[in-house]
């Protein structure tokens, strides 16, 4: 296993994080898997044996059951293990059962601590934006949790760039500032490169990536013109993340498969290896149903992609330069910062005019 520093913090995390989205299988989560304590213990033990030191969950995964299972499995082992959780999503029918109000965050953090059987959460994510709660109230609540030792770091997930910046500006002190954001980002879904990755470089946020294989669509098991594999999330009716251009997806998968064959791995490992070359990316949150799935994906850590392979992957997946980025690419390149380059470095150094298909 390899480890990276999380943003501007001093925290070292494994480049593969174990996701526990599949623990419990309560409600709609049963479409992904339904792992009990015995299953979870086997998977967690394997991940720890391979050097994984970060485990990701949320209060709304199977309405708390994921946290309960993870807590039972990790109890007594937290000295060397890091755990994340999240709050914001609806977890009941009450008027205060969602959001990031001070009332909700402190209550949910205390509930998560009990389910996880620990006295602290290492990274506590705001799971989604809440436009009704003042950002000052949210950030001051997180500061309270940090000062009381209930959480060690704060982060956000599924925010837009202006949401992140507004939150960073409202942090009452440096210690309560977000150190990370957890986002959806894959070689097929590169939207985060417009603003979220440049922001992360500029503000020193370490990026964790959720669903880095697009719910299995980038694993190589799904191919153009073939029937959806039995037992997959798609076969069970799971439709997140959305794919807006299926032909583009299959073209990307074709290249992933070709490069994987050259490295004697699977398309999934190439998709993960590509993500680990991207700016600000610290760790990939990977889930799985079997020990074998995790062990295969751990191989991505040692895959080294050549410049030619990276070019092929970027060429088949690159998104259009939307405004104002095409204009900046034309006129501002001599004064780009490293944060600007997080987007622009993958685009040819040429002028983008109206006839260009990338505009």
Residue where the block lists tokens 């000052």: 136
Using a 10 angstrom Cβ sphere, with 0-12 exposed, 13-18 middle and 19 or more buried, the burial of residue 63 is middle
Does a cis peptide bond (omega within 30 degrees of 0) precede residue 241?
yes
Give 147-152 contacts, CB < 8 A, sequence gap 24+.
Answer: 149/119, 149/120, 150/109, 150/110, 150/113, 150/119, 150/120, 150/121, 151/109, 151/120, 151/121, 151/122, 151/123, 151/124, 152/120, 152/121, 152/122, 152/123
- DSSP string of 37-69? HHHHHHHHHHHHHTT--EEE--TTGGGGHHHHH
Q: How far is CA 46 from CA 18, 50, 52, 347, in A?
A: 10, 6, 9, 40
Please choose, from the candidates 142, 170, 169, the residue with its C-alpha nearest in 3D space to the C-alpha of residue 155: 142
Using a 10 angstrom Cβ sphere, with 0-12 exposed, 13-18 middle and 19 or more buried, the burial of residue 92 is exposed
Catalytic annotation present for 61? yes
Q: What share of the chain is helix, strand, coil (3-state, %, to 5)?
A: 45, 15, 45
Of 61, 124, 185, 347, which one is the catalytic site residue?
61
The H helix count followed by the E strand count for the chain is: 12, 10
Write the DSSP symbol of residue 194: T
Q: Catalytic positions, please? A: 61
């Amino acid at each position: 296993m390899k480890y990276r520093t999380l943003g501007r913090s001093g925290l070292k995390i494994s480049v593969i994080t174990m996701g526990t989205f599949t623990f419990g299988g309560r409600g709609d989560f049963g479409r992904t898997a339904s792992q009990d304590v015995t299953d979870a213990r086997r998977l967690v033990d394997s991940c720890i044996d391979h050097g994984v030191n970060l485990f990701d969950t949320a209060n709304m995964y199977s309405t708390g059951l994921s946290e309960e299972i993870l807590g039972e499995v990790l109890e007594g082992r937290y000295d060397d293990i890091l755990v994340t959780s999240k709050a914001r999503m609806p977890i009941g029918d009450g008027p205060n059962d969602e959001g990031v109000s001070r009332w909700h965050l402190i209550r949910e953090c205390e509930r998560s601590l009990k389910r996880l059987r620990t006295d602290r959460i290492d990274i506590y994510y705001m799971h989604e934006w809440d436009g009704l709660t003042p950002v000052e109230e949210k950030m001051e609540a997180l500061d309270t949790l940090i000062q009381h030792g209930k959480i060690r770091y704060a982060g956000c997930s599924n925010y837009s760039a202006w949401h992140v910046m507004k939150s960073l500006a409202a942090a009452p002190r440096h210690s309560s500032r977000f150190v990370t954001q957890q986002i959806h980002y894959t070689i097929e879904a590169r939207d985060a490169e417009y603003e979220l990755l440049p922001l992360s470089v500029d503000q020193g946020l370490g990026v964790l990536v959720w669903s880095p294989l697009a719910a299995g669509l980038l694993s190589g098991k799904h191919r153009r013109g073939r029937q959806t594999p039995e037992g997959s999330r798609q076969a069970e009716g799971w439709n997140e993340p959305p794919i807006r251009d299926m032909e583009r997806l299959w073209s990307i998968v074709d290249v992933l498969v070709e490069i994987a064959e050259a490295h004697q791995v699977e398309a999934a490992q190439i998709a993960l290896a590509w993500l680990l070359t991207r700016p600000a990316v610290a760790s990939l949150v990977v889930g799985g149903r079997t020990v074998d799935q995790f062990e295969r994906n751990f191989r991505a850590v040692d895959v080294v992609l050549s410049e030619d392979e990276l070019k092929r992957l970027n060429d088949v997946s690159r998104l259009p330069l939307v405004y104002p980025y095409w204009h900046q690419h034309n006129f501002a390149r001599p004064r780009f910062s490293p944060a600007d380059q997080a987007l622009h470095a993958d685009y040819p150094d040429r002028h983008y005019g109206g006839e260009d298909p990338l505009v």
